[in-house]
Amino acid sequence: MRYFLITLAIVTTSISQSVAQEVTKQEFDSLKSVVFDLKTDIGQIELNLQKSEKKLRTGMLISTIGYSVVIVGGQLLGGENNDLGEALLYTGGAIGIGGTFMLFQGFKLLNQSKVKG
């Protein structure tokens, strides 16, 4: 009887260890898939950041140039080059609005890079 109980204890222990290893393997596979998904998301975020950085830099440059032209046009108003000043105001305003539009596109790309849970 004693040998039977010892054998039963050993078999029960070995079965519980194999089940515990199986659960651990399932958890490990689940963890691997989560890590892979996170790597994919990070790659997409980095790609969107690179795209948005280019648009943001270009938008800032164009806006700066456009609004600088507006300032120059405003300085020319009221003098002998009134027509040139007015033309520069409109042209600079259009260039500045175009640059601002590019800035908004860059920010839209940044918002796309957020992970949707």
**For the segment 21-70, what is each residue's pLDDT rounded down to a tens digit?**
555 777 777 888 888 888 888 888 888 888 888 889 999 999 999 999 99
**Where in the sequence is the domain holding 104, given as residue range(s)?**
2-112
Is residue 41 in a domain?
yes
Q: For the chain, what percent of residues have pLDDT higher than 90? A: 31
94, pLDDT greater than 50: yes
Residue type, 93: G
How many alpha carbons fall within 13 Å on the CB side of residue 40? 6
Distance in angstroms (rounded) separating the CA atoms of residues 57 and 46: 16
Domain count across the chain: 1
| 102 found inside a domain | yes
Domain-located, residue 48: yes
Q: Answer yes or no: is 58 within a domain.
A: yes
Note whether residue 117 is domain-resident.
no
